[in-house]
Structure 1
Amino acid sequence: MYRVGVDVGGTNTDAAFLDINAVDTASRGVLATCKTSTTTHVTQGIKTAVETVLLQSKVDRSKVLNVAIGTTHFVNAVVENDARRLSRVAVIRLCGPYTRKIPPFSDFPYALRNIIEGPHFFLDGGLEIDGREIASLNTEQIKQTALTIVEAGIRYVAVVGVFSALDHEGIHEERCKALLQQFQPDLSIVCSHSIGGPGLLPRENATILNASILAFARKTIHGFRLAMTKLDLACPLYLTQNDGTLTDAAVAAELPIKTFASGPTNSLMGAAFLQSLDHGDKTLADRQVVVVDIGGTTTDLCALLPSGFPRQAPNFIEVGGVRTAFSMPEVLSIGLGGGSRVRQLEENKVSVGPDSVAHRLTTDAMVFGGTVMTSTDIVVASGSASVGRDDHVKDIPEPFIAGAKADIKRQLEQAIDSMKVSSAPVTVLLVGGGSIIITEDLNGVEECLRPPHHDSANAVGAAIAKVAGEIDVIEVLAGRDENEVVENAKKAAINAAIANGADEKTVQIVEIKKIPLQYVTNKATRLVMKAVGNLRIEQEASLCLHRDSVTNGTVDDTEDYEAGEETTKTEVTTCKQGSLAKPTLGVDLTSYRPQVENGIWYISPIDVEFIASGTGILGTGGGGSSYLMALYTLETLREHGAGKIRIIRPDSLNDTDICVGGAGYGAPSVSDERIGNGTDVFTAIDAINTIMNIKDFQGLLVLEIGGGNGLVAMPSSARYDRPVVDCDLMGRAYPTLEHGTPFVYGKPILPVATADCKGNASVVVTAESNKRTEALIRNTCIELGNSTGTAGRPLDGETVKKYTVPNTISQAWYLGRAVHLARQTKVDFIEAISSITPVKSLYTGKIIDVTRDVSKGYTVGRCVLAPLSVDEAVDHNTSTTASEKRYLVIPFQNEYLSASYVDDEKAEGEEDVICTVPDLISILGQDGEALGSPELRYGLKVRVIGMPAHPLWTGTPEGLRVGGPEFFGLPTEWKSIGEYRRPRSVIEEFESSESIDT
């Protein structure tokens, strides 16, 4: 009873042969391993590697239970924009009137989009957050759509239903798929509910990529099967998935995207197995295990969870420049390996990597007679390894050797620290052929282990992979027994694992996630359950052979497409790395000037990207992501053309001019899935204008500059052909409408309208208080699906000039430009920000604890940061803060509320408050982009900044009562972060200078 594991990498193809009855032995049942070069025709390399281990083991091939293959072949086709391996895809959204403001493919890189993009369709269907239908499926719509797709010469279709995660069996998507194939049998359909969880755009992107790779995946996996046939292997064929589990070849041929990251996962799973951590080792419960896979060029690191599976990456993953949402392990890669070049930078300082001689190690390294000094040469010279000719490196000076070893040690220690998830002890498992470069103890690591057969851990991981069943659904828990719902979800995951081929006796739940959605009152909760078990030994080969041929299409018996073949490339290759979402790529930002003429600022795509980054910083942890609103604004620019979105100064208004404003209102978890069509804000504005008999208006207002709402007025500028006024009603993000500065000072907030994308609108005309107004529109928002547009009472020019925060669109632009310029010119982004606005650097550190509670309908929590080590501070160019030994604690209610020094990491002692609301607190990642409170997690290295709030908040009792610590229940008084300075105006600065409309 034997298993064969294969891992196909870019350089080498590894194979391992295991006796599953001998896994309790010292060798863990590994009978033979092989490492061979990955061939141009990948199936030939697989055949060579498998044949080698079969011959070495001298085992009857009929006793081989299965072959499991991990490959990067499919993801490489996407990353390389390979038109030979990718197909055009039509996209069907089941959405009713929603999602139109951001069409499919909006954030694809141009080169990939040119290859893949087919027509897209918005059809009836989809669900609300509470399970109600947005609209029923329309059979005639689907029939006509199928005909249109076929007439366009397209065979591959992605079907994406709004809140399909609520639709447990994907009923809307699956019914649409059945109808499409009924009308056009040759169509191949991929449903998004089988790909990812909530978040429409990234789930749709992943579904599109999966559909595009279908033809290539089917042909490649058919080639794998042919290779097995030539080796006289009649056993089932499996592929390893991103999470370290198996899927049979037929399923992999339909869902190839789930194998994209199988390589690093195989190494991790193989390392844990070879170190016997799968034998119920209880130390996994109270320690961390980090697998360090060192190759010739790079080192890959991944954390092992107590379940025995890799830690999954948070938020979204970019594949080939496309933002996607599907299960992927969190892997950190650094430029350090056995072939890394070693250089003397300056006196007493040696650098190792990140460049490498790679596959030329055996010819270029000094120990092999070459002239390039590598990390392998250093290890041999130190006497810690015996590779090649040690006499070739005997003249390397001891100080140089020590310096190189110190740099290797430093890089690995910092990488390991980045993968930690807690302060528990760390065990490191070293695998890979380059692991010989580790010669001494690592700080922060309790033990460092090198398992047997460590150089073939990836192939072993494929051979021993288990079978999983996973569900990712949203359940409405209001009025239901929560324990019963959770138990039913567990059973569904277990049944899914058994259906996928797991041995029923070994299946167990290894992961339970309950994620309540924000701002909902029906207790809608995302449940993610994973069950894992051993592969059933009695799986019949005939089943796999039959299913392997059922690929919803046909394949021939030829080899798969290969990288070495000559082919006609796609003609459109300009802006290869660019996309609609990233207009600054490839642009010299030092010479860019916004277009300002006659007191009017005409917004360009570059301006949108700058402003989106800036509104993220001004969001102070809340306000939602600016990403979707930036995409919508860019689509609006593309549709309406340059010059349609424009900004004017507040002081250009007459006192009697009328300004209207709208904003998004509701739960980010809903608006990220049930993306609007843009009409909800327009409907709300029109409702207010109708009630107040406003026939015309002169300007549009930003109600909240923080987060996505900072961009909402820009599409309205194109819609109404009116300019946006360079100001807003908060100067930051705040959680309620009553935080609008005019309303703080007694200006009437009513009437207020709330509207959805179906044309429903509700208007609150009178209420006893601003607080009651908030409650009324919140209830309306819930009825309309928890994501709406809202508009308040229009303001006259006099009020705008007196009671709004001026130049905040400009402020967002300058902040975003500073961050983007800092990245492009390699300068410190805090220094860049401080050169254009008052900012105080509060802390530089790493997150060591995050707690959250959503029981109140909104997120409250606390984040604790620890100081960086001296080496980390130097690497981050933050030596000025390296002396700070205290910790920092930041409580948040969506937005960050205060920042305080504490003496211990538990943050239970006396706090030294250094900043509070209404002053702004922002947490920035290493690229300078702001992190929202939902994105905080252990191990992130961050910079914390504070910015003074406008005197409308800090200069009066009214402002502090609504915007300060008292409103949020903080047991402290406001403490000023510094003197407020009016933001610079883009219009004033660039009107007199030469401007460039890019």
Structure 2
Amino acid sequence: MAKYRIGVDVGGTNTDAAIIDILNTDSPSRGVCASVKTPTTPDVTSGIYTAIQNALSQSHVERNDVVSVAIGTTHFVNAVVQADSNRLSRVAVVRLCGPFTRQVPPFAEFPSDLKEIMGGPVFYLEGGLEIDGREIAPLDDGQIKSTVKEIQDAGVKMVALVGVFSPLDHSGIHEETCRKRMLELDSSLSIVCSHSIGGVGLLERENATIVNASILPLAKKTVRAFCAAMVKLELQCTLYLTQNDGTLTDAGTAAELPIKTFASGPTNSMTGAAFLASLDRGGKPSEQQVLVVDIGGTTSDVCALLPSGFPRQAPNYVEVGGIRTAFSMPEVLSVGLGGGSRVSVDEQTGAVRVGPESVGHYLTSKAMVFGGDVMTTTDIVVASGKSDVGDKSNISGISVEIARTARAQIQRILERAIDGMKTSDQPVVLLLVGGGSIIYMDGLKGVAECIIPPHHDSANAVGAAIAKVAGEVDMIELLEGKNESEVLEAAKKRAIEAAVARGADREDVKVVAIDKIPLSYATNKATRLVIKAVGKLAASDGSISQQTTDYSMGTDNEAAIEEHNRMAKSASETPQSPAKPSAQIDLDTYRPNVRNSTWYISPVDLEYIATGTGVLGTGGGGPSHLQFLECLQNIYASGYTGNMRVVEPSTLGDSDTCITGLWFGAPSVSGERIPAATELTTAIENCLRIAGKTDLHAIVTGEIGGGNGLSAFSSSVTYDVPVLDGDLMGRAYPTLEHCTPYVYGLPATPCAVADGKNNVGLVLNAESNRRAETMARSQCIDLGLMVGLSTAPLTGAETKRYIIPNTISQAWYIGRAVHRARRSKSDMIQAIFDTSPGKLLYTGKIIDVKRDVSRGYTMGHCLLAPLGSDEQETTSKSDAHDDGSDESRYLIVPFQNEFLYAAYTDPQTPEDPSKQDVICTVPDLISLLGQDGAGLGSQELRYGLRVNVIAMAAHPLWTTEAGLRVGGPKGFGLDMAWSKLGEYCEPMSVIREFSRDI
């Protein structure tokens, strides 16, 4: 009876293989019959062949008793990271989008070398969905036919097919129908549908789809070579590849969706560790969390295991080869600590330093215990009496004090890494795997139990061997008027069926994860459901599947290996993305282009401003990335002609006409149904027409916080008029009535909303500006929850009276400070406050986040705990810290999209107002910054993040009775008084500082 599974994991240095007796997993060894290491070969395949051959020889397992082989490989991702033109193909991109998505074209974020290799023709066709499931437009057969002809004429065979909200369309019907019609016209095309690659987020999903399509020829060749190796090994079992989430996919599917195998290595280690430690048999109390630390020669990789037994997945997007992509990858924290880490002693001070430098795979020749002259962590282990590897007489020169100090540093590095990956404040069960795990010598704070399982040095191969099969459903459901329980049950059944269809044993499949994510501003209870079902691999007949056999037919084994050797290419530095212009300049010497009191915006300026608007977003405003990319496209397309420019408000005449154009709606829509780039123009033109204005002299930014902080630049280019250095909020706020002119009684009407299909809605008059907001939002919902909005034109005199001055400059200075501090590793907070005075309210880590959607807004709070004494060196040392703060207490920060107030609180009852000591409220600006200085949106907050909570004083327009009535605590229904944070300091002006009048 076939009863053995073989797992293989291809690493950068070694290829590991393990054989598991699946009928004997209750044994102390968990059924591991053999595990071996062999050097990874340039062609990958021959190394896999050698590893399996050696494992079979060592275990004496009969080949006919092997039921499956599962391989985890980095071969595909290396082709992208190395920008290898021999292994990547050109890709045509077809968007099913109607008039939308023109704002940011495909390949906008690709590094120049990858765009040169992959960039093919781009097409925008009818099709796609709104968030509520309506068609944007039906598919057009004539368009599809002409598109196929143009793809043929371009000589391209690989196609990425991307439909707006295709994850909403449960079967990807628009994409699949279009794919079928294209193949009917040309069956030689290889077409990848985006709904099979990722979830909501069009650009990231599209990027991943392009990458997947580009490596399809390589994937098919590689799988053929793997199958050829199987034939050469005389193995007649099924071949699988392991995926990023720790589950299996058959070889044929992997050849079609290779991107899903990109990051399987770390996942294999984590799932293998859990199996070897018997956690699948109830090896830990339910109240404890499990972390895995895989210690190699150079680094330690830390990952959190979820109750499902799979690693926690990385949030948001991941970068591969400099490209932002959206596909499932484990969240892994790597620190520079391994068995080969160098230990150095400062001759003058005697200070001992551990890592991050390492001797790597030269450990057995360079470490002192092995006769070398480099002191390593392995030497410290032996000197501490914790291991007897090597020759102890070689380390007689290591003093007791050096060993003690180095040992304490090793302990501290591990403690920090573990704390950074915790998913809660529950006790931790720590699994140590990897060849370098001997450096663990002392108990770690917060760790209830540490387990070094058997065969820990081959956990990655074991993880591949025991990998299960998963089915996942990632969709958006409109729950209004539906029975939520019935919808959820139906989705769970679909996930189970998906797992079974992929080879899982139906009797073993269970739903292991359910995520319900309500979408902001959606009144139809639009909710994203992500459901995963997992089961063990079903018994097979022991033969290679027909699909896999097809890949192996007609391929000469030696020829396949020779082909891989020819294509092997050493890694090269990935060129910078055009979306990261500041990375290519000297930040200290860069000067913006200001001539004749006009600031001409460059790509670097845009990047600075985008970073600054994130900080000024105070938790809301939506991400700036899309607007940043659109503005970059405008600059690049114009050939740097200088039509994107900024002037001071004082240049306006009192009778001049100014207008604002804002994006209005849900960020969850803007990231998927990317605008057509006509919405703002259409709204502005209708507003001007109704108001009887024929001349336009300037664009004024509606809100500087978040994505809208850059929106005025698009309108500036369209109308060839300048943007004023200032905005109408000085931050981000959630509603239209929070613009300063409307706070002080000016009417927002007439106002217009417009979508990319030239639908226009008007509010000619409203009894109040709050009513104008609700009326406009009703039309916004009907138009798909993302529109361009323009409000009543302002005169020059009104604009100068109500504008918050110099806030575009302020965003620029903040952004420059953040980028400089990142590069120089200097004090991030002090750098920001040197440009925009403020106070550091708190430095801590998030230990709880609660969210709900009420009235269309994301409501909730986050709770922060103080850092431990040994973590303090990571915090700011600036003298800008609020002298009255107390970081021994906990801090709560409630939000309604934006952060509303910060208060010390009791961690047991944090929401009890009687236990709160408020230290800052709106309208003062409260921002949470990540360790890289980036402003965090309320939607990005999660457990474990270390953050700095900063505050800046609001402009005086917000601190009057009228300003506080709308933008202060009472305006948000809070029963608390505003207390002045400090004196407002007008931001510096880029125009005045850098002016070169000629």
TM range (shorter): over 0.9
Aligned counterparts, 1:640-655, within 5 A: 640-642=638-640, 643-655=642-654
Q: 1:870 corresponds to which residue?
A: 869
**Inter-partner Cα distance in structure 2 for 1:130 and 1:554:** 49
Matched, 1:428 2:430: yes
- Report the AA paired with residue 781 of structure 2: I
**Inter-partner Cα distance in structure 2 for 1:277 and 1:931:** 35
CA contact (8 A) 1:887 1:905 kept: no
Q: 2:92 corresponds to which residue?
A: 90
Matched, 1:858 2:863: no
Q: 1:329 to 1:348 in 2, by over 3 A?
A: same
**Inter-partner Cα distance in structure 1 for 2:500 and 2:312:** 23
Q: 1:331 corresponds to which residue?
A: 332
2:857 alignment partner, SS class = coil
2:481 alignment partner, SS class = coil
Which of 885, 900, 905 is the matching residue for 2:903?
900
Q: 1:966 corresponds to which residue?
A: 970
Q: 1:391 corresponds to which residue?
A: 393
**Inter-partner Cα distance in structure 2 for 1:501 and 1:813:** 54
Which of 214, 224, 235 is the matching residue for 1:222?
224
Deviation at 1:559, TM superposition (A): 2.1
Matched, 1:943 2:948: yes
Deviation at 1:914, TM superposition (A): 1.1
Matched, 1:637 2:639: no
Q: 1:829 to 1:165 in 2, by over 3 A?
A: same
Q: 1:787 corresponds to which residue?
A: 786
Deviations 1:883-919 (A, max 9, x none): 7201111000000000111243642462111110000
Matched, 1:885 2:895: no
**Inter-partner Cα distance in structure 2 for 1:457 and 1:14:** 9
Deviation at 1:879, TM superposition (A): 8.7
Q: 1:321 to 1:993 in 2, by over 3 A?
A: farther
Q: 1:556 to 1:623 in 2, by over 3 A?
A: farther
**Inter-partner Cα distance in structure 2 for 1:481 and 1:566:** 55
**Inter-partner Cα distance in structure 2 for 1:826 and 1:277:** 41
Coordinate RMSD, CA, aligned: 1.8
Unaligned runs of at least 5 residues, structure 2: none
CA contact (8 A) 2:228 2:556 kept: no
Which of 191, 206, 210 is the matching residue for 2:193?
191
**Inter-partner Cα distance in structure 1 for 2:551 and 2:493:** 28
- Report the AA paired with residue 521 of structure 1: T
CA contact (8 A) 2:42 2:568 kept: no
Q: 2:749 corresponds to which residue?
A: 750
Deviation at 1:278, TM superposition (A): 0.4
Which of 411, 420, 432 is the matching residue for 1:409?
411
2:397 alignment partner, SS class = coil
Deviations 1:243-291 (A, max 9, x none): 11111000011111111111011011111001110013461x3111000
CA contact (8 A) 1:42 1:562 kept: no
Q: 2:248 corresponds to which residue?
A: 246
**Inter-partner Cα distance in structure 2 for 1:755 and 1:250:** 46
Q: Percent identity?
A: 59
Q: 1:375 corresponds to which residue?
A: 377
> In terms of mean alpha carbon deviation, does 532-541 or 286-295 score higher?
532-541
Question: What TM-score results when the alignment is normalised by the length of structure 2?
Answer: 0.97
Deviation at 1:990, TM superposition (A): 0.8
**Inter-partner Cα distance in structure 1 for 2:243 and 2:568:** 30
Q: 1:578 corresponds to which residue?
A: 576
1:208 alignment partner, SS class = helix
Count of aligned positions:
987
**Inter-partner Cα distance in structure 2 for 1:641 and 1:870:** 53
CA contact (8 A) 2:857 2:896 kept: yes
Aligned counterparts, 1:139-154, within 5 A: 139-154=141-156
Deviation at 1:119, TM superposition (A): 1.3
Deviations 1:407-441 (A, max 9, x none): 11111000000000111000100000000011111
Q: 2:266 corresponds to which residue?
A: 264
- Report the AA paired with residue 831 of structure 1: Q
CA contact (8 A) 1:219 1:555 kept: no
Aligned counterparts, 1:482-561, within 5 A: 482-539=484-541, 541-542=543-544, 544-549=545-550, 558-559=559-560
**Inter-partner Cα distance in structure 1 for 2:565 and 2:329:** 28
**Inter-partner Cα distance in structure 2 for 1:963 and 1:877:** 30
CA contact (8 A) 1:158 1:191 kept: yes
Deviation at 1:936, TM superposition (A): 0.4
1:688 alignment partner, SS class = helix
Aligned counterparts, 1:669-818, within 5 A: 669-818=668-817
**Inter-partner Cα distance in structure 2 for 1:521 and 1:779:** 9
2:267 alignment partner, SS class = helix
Deviation at 1:566, TM superposition (A): 7.2
- Report the AA paired with residue 323 of structure 2: V
**Inter-partner Cα distance in structure 2 for 1:693 and 1:555:** 74
Q: 1:568 to 1:18 in 2, by over 3 A?
A: closer
CA contact (8 A) 1:873 1:879 kept: no
Deviation at 1:824, TM superposition (A): 2.0
Q: 2:822 corresponds to which residue?
A: 823
Matched, 1:300 2:298: no
Deviation at 1:539, TM superposition (A): 4.8
Matched, 1:600 2:598: yes
Q: 2:53 corresponds to which residue?
A: 51
1:601 alignment partner, SS class = strand
**Inter-partner Cα distance in structure 2 for 1:349 and 1:522:** 62
- Report the AA paired with residue 775 of structure 1: T
Q: 2:451 corresponds to which residue?
A: 449
Which of 938, 953, 962 is the matching residue for 1:933?
938
Aligned counterparts, 1:605-624, within 5 A: 605-624=603-622
Deviations 1:543-600 (A, max 9, x none): x24345269x997763258786478999xx9x94322211101210111111111111
CA contact (8 A) 2:84 2:569 kept: no
Matched, 1:919 2:917: no
CA contact (8 A) 2:227 2:548 kept: no
CA contact (8 A) 1:74 1:256 kept: yes
Deviation at 1:41, TM superposition (A): 2.2
**Inter-partner Cα distance in structure 1 for 2:877 and 2:860:** 27
**Inter-partner Cα distance in structure 2 for 1:658 and 1:256:** 55
Q: 1:47 to 1:790 in 2, by over 3 A?
A: same
**Inter-partner Cα distance in structure 1 for 2:878 and 2:412:** 17
CA contact (8 A) 1:40 1:562 kept: no
CA contact (8 A) 2:829 2:878 kept: no
1:430 alignment partner, SS class = strand
**Inter-partner Cα distance in structure 2 for 1:415 and 1:762:** 53
2:378 alignment partner, SS class = helix
Unaligned runs of at least 5 residues, structure 1: none
**Inter-partner Cα distance in structure 2 for 1:600 and 1:569:** 48
Deviation at 1:134, TM superposition (A): 0.4
Q: 1:21 to 1:920 in 2, by over 3 A?
A: same
Deviations 1:836-873 (A, max 9, x none): 22211111111111110114321000111111112211
1:854 alignment partner, SS class = strand
CA contact (8 A) 2:88 2:117 kept: yes
Q: 1:23 corresponds to which residue?
A: 25
1:446 alignment partner, SS class = strand
CA contact (8 A) 1:110 1:576 kept: no
Q: 2:36 corresponds to which residue?
A: 34
CA contact (8 A) 1:70 1:262 kept: yes
Question: What TM-score results when the alignment is normalised by the length of structure 1?
Answer: 0.97
Deviations 1:648-668 (A, max 9, x none): 100111101110110000010
CA contact (8 A) 1:72 1:260 kept: yes
1:380 alignment partner, SS class = helix
CA contact (8 A) 1:72 1:263 kept: yes
